[in-house]
Amino acid sequence: MKLLNPRGFGLVCATAAVVAGSTVAGCAEQVEGTAHPNTSELAAYKTEAAASSAAATSSRRAAAQSQAIDDNCAQFPATTGLGVTSYNDFVDAHDANAPDYAAKRDAAAQTLEDAAVKVETGVNTAAESLPPDLAAKFNEYVAAARALAAETRGMTYTAPVGPLNEASKRVNDARNAVRDACPKR
């Protein structure tokens, strides 16, 4: 029994393909006229493409919003916690008439200001991606922290503590509002 020669078989197949292609091409006839799209299919395609584009945009927007919420809410406790700790150290020094009172006062004011700047930067970086109600809560914290920093800087042993206590309450309320609005981890 003799096997087929692969080269010979390939040559026969190639020749048959060329002959078949030439026959089909020679029998082809050109159609007269101008090509026009099927208007109903074109309209359906445009509608589907617009819906797909809108879905992709919505998906990107949702992903950006989720990322902005995660970025801002994740950093908030640590950033503002430093301000709380430093402020509490200042209050303890004030109440104890400690010799390092002025240094702790200034450190507390600066730490509160630094926290306000960091939170504000996060909100500004997120821009439109952060939901407006959450952005407003972050911005309230920023304003409250700056007000407490200003009150803290102005404190002396003889200054009334009422405005300082009010500013401190405002910061605590703002921190709680942000924590309540952020997703639980």
DSSP string of 125-180?
Answer: HHGGGS-HHHHHHHHHHHHHHHHHHHHHHT--TTS-SHHHHHHHHHHHHHHHHHHH
82 pLDDT more than 90: yes
Is residue 147, in this structure, part of any structural domain at all? yes
Give residue 16's pLDDT.
76
| Average pLDDT of the segment spanning 120-128 | 92
Total domains, the chain: 1
Is residue 22, in this structure, part of any structural domain at all? no
Is residue 43, in this structure, part of any structural domain at all? no
Structural domain span for residue 65: 59-181
Q: pLDDT > 90: what percent of the chain?
A: 56
122 pLDDT more than 80: yes
| Average pLDDT of the segment spanning 38-43 | 69
Is residue 96, in this structure, part of any structural domain at all? yes
Is residue 37, in this structure, part of any structural domain at all? no
Tens-place pLDDT, residues 132-180: 999 999 999 999 999 999 999 999 888 899 999 999 999 999 999 999 9
| Average pLDDT of the segment spanning 48-75 | 76
Measured over all CA atoms, what is the biggest interatomic distance in the chain, rounded to whole angstroms?
Answer: 117
Is residue 169, in this structure, part of any structural domain at all? yes
pTM, rounded to two decimals: 0.68
Greater confidence (20 vs 140) lies with 140
Which amino acid is present at 70?
D
- Structure tokens belonging to residue 127: 């821009």
Is residue 24, in this structure, part of any structural domain at all? no
Average predicted confidence (pLDDT) for the chain = 85
Question: Sign of torsion, CA 17 23 25 28?
Answer: negative
